[in-house]
Structure 1
Amino acid sequence: MNRDEISKIIVLKLMQKKEVLKRDFHSRRKEIGYFFIDGLLPKELVLEIYRKFPSTDKAVRKKNLREFKFTAVQMNTYDALLEEVIYAFQDKRVIQIISEICGLEKLYGDENLYAGGLSLMEKDNFLNPHLDNSHDKDRDRWRVLNLLYYVTPDWSAAHGGNLEIWPNGLQQPQITIESIFNRLVVMTTHQNSWHSVSKVTTEHIRRCVSNYYFSDNPILASDTFHVTTFRGRSSEKVRDLILRIDNGLRANVRRFFKKGVRENPHRYKK
């Protein structure tokens, strides 16, 4: 299937659940607005997407105190179906219906897939609590929505690798959203939208299609520019101290160099 066909299915599914999703999102918007919808695409199509994912040895390995995962963004080197499904989420009709659900105006997709693309997480992989970078690659638009579409069959909460959001800060209990098969999660991203991914505990690989939407305006009037900002969990005192120092150093670099001292490689170079 191509992106046009896939986007039509996404729009139809979202339209069917629009009012429920709108209520879900707006009931949470004061903290971290989010909604999720299951059974987004036909099962056989999702299984095909899952099977077409690259192996971890063909992805970029990221391992440090902040995160341990694999990413893939140079889409023309992978099966064509993967590029089609990613850009289906950036179809204007999909963006419009999600804009209506979330009550946000002037949303834009990101053809560069800056920090988006494909994500793979194997045993012991994790993503520490963090705030996403506030802007697009050129710092022209604000990052406002994070779209995560999970395609791994038979995934359960016990496998780990679940999305965690922290609406009341890192000292309060998190909300866990299971990364189950054929589920789309849409969440706001702003200076208070702390989120993380729990450590994977199974030998299976969790596969996720990731997109971001941007806007001319931030979600919160109080938002200011920030780099991707990581923290340690409440049990990780030393890691948290190191990450705070790391955040400060990277933020200071961006005060002097708008795009950093080097171009961020995590984007689709067409």
Structure 2
Amino acid sequence: MNNLLQTENESLLREEINFDDLSSDFDSGDPFRHIVIDNFLREDVARAVAEEFPEFDGPAWSVYNNAIEVKKALNHWDRFPKNTYALFNFLNSDEFVAEMSKLAGVKLWADPGLHGGGWHSHAAGGKLNTHLDYSIHPKLGLERILNLIVYVAPDWREEYGGALGLWADNNGAPGELRKQISCMFNRAVIFDTSQRSWHGLPEPVTCPPGRARNSLAVYYLCEPRESAADRGRALFAPHGEQANDPGVLELIKLRSQVNTSQSVYRTNVNGESKN
């Protein structure tokens, strides 16, 4: 596979995408600003990046294994193969960030550290409770405002689950589930994280053995606004009977705090610490 490092003025996106034309659809998204773009990357780019994802059971990953999130992630640039590296470089470039600024309506900056971003993978049983993302970047002090997620699991079927749910806000808690977005191959979802944007997986992933819901994520930042929340970590909500489970509620509390989150995110589903 050839290296996808773009030459000057060459885009890794499908040629027809024009963010000026998409801004009105983005602004009218419900329950918060968002847009879904199919065939987001050039086909050769999407296929090349998909082929570079590591095996789900491989050693490269950071593991999240607890009652509110079961997934694997990796955001170390030195571990990305060449085509994945090229894509993240492109998505953090000044030219692409300027396009994202058109959607956000404010001047944006990239997060080259990919804090919370990078590769994400969910196999069978993978879960991600409804949550709000961190608001203020713990190292840069900027406000996180846009998420870009691109799904890169070829031949994914809707019956495997893993749809992205978008919930309305109900007085600071997730309310009605307004939309479910299937994670079809080469589909991108861009959404505003600053509008009490409750999102997650409504149900655990149910794909066959040997398959995984693979995606990549990049986040974009702006100068903190007066309306910005002060969250430095994600705020999760309990699902179903978890609302009556003191252990889960304590986990959510610890997970939401900068000084304790890393001590609990690897806790397994039975409450045993894996650190």
Q: TM over 0.5, yes or no?
A: yes
CA distance in 2, matches of 1:85, 1:125: 25
The answer for the alignment partner of 1:116 in structure 2 is 117
CA distance in 2, matches of 1:238, 1:155: 35
Contact 2:254 2:260 in 1 (8 A): no
Contact 1:231 1:243 in 2 (8 A): no
1:243 Cα deviation from its structure 2 partner: 4.1
User: Counterparts of 1:118-157 in structure 2 under 5 Å?
Assistant: 118-138=119-139, 140-157=141-158
1:201 corresponds to which of 206, 214, 218: 206
Contact 1:68 1:126 in 2 (8 A): yes
CA distance in 1, matches of 2:247, 2:261: 22
1:174 Cα deviation from its structure 2 partner: 3.6
Compared CA separation, residues 135 and 223, structure 1 to 2 (3 A): closer
2:221 corresponds to which of 202, 208, 214: 214
User: Counterparts of 1:1-270 in structure 2 under 5 Å?
Assistant: 1-2=4-5, 8-10=11-13, 12-15=15-18, 18-19=20-21, 21-28=22-29, 31-56=31-56, 57=58, 58-103=60-105, 105-138=106-139, 140-169=141-170, 170-190=174-194, 192-197=196-201, 198-203=203-208, 204-218=211-225, 221=227, 223-239=229-245, 241-249=246-254, 254=258, 260=259
Contact 2:122 2:214 in 1 (8 A): yes
Identity across aligned pairs (percent)? 23
TM value normalised by structure 1? 0.83
CA distance in 1, matches of 2:260, 2:6: 35
1:130 Cα deviation from its structure 2 partner: 0.8
Q: Report the residue type matching 1:10 in the other structure.
A: L
1:248 Cα deviation from its structure 2 partner: 3.6
Structure 1, unaligned runs of 5 or more: 255-259
Q: Report the residue type matching 2:63 in the other structure.
A: R
1:75 Cα deviation from its structure 2 partner: 2.5
Query: Segments of 4+ in structure 1 off by > 6 A?
Result: 261-264
1:168 Cα deviation from its structure 2 partner: 3.9
1:150 Cα deviation from its structure 2 partner: 0.7
Q: Deviations over 1:174-226 (max 9, x none)?
A: 410111111111111126111102311112211101110011124x7263335
**Root-mean-square deviation (CA), in Å?**
2.7
CA distance in 2, matches of 1:222, 1:263: 23
CA distance in 1, matches of 2:74, 2:107: 28
Q: Report the residue type matching 1:233 in the other structure.
A: H
TM value normalised by structure 2? 0.82
CA distance in 2, matches of 1:262, 1:248: 9
SS in 2 for 1:112: coil
Q: Report the residue type matching 2:24 in the other structure.
A: R
1:60 Cα deviation from its structure 2 partner: 1.7
Contact 1:156 1:180 in 2 (8 A): yes
1:53 Cα deviation from its structure 2 partner: 0.8
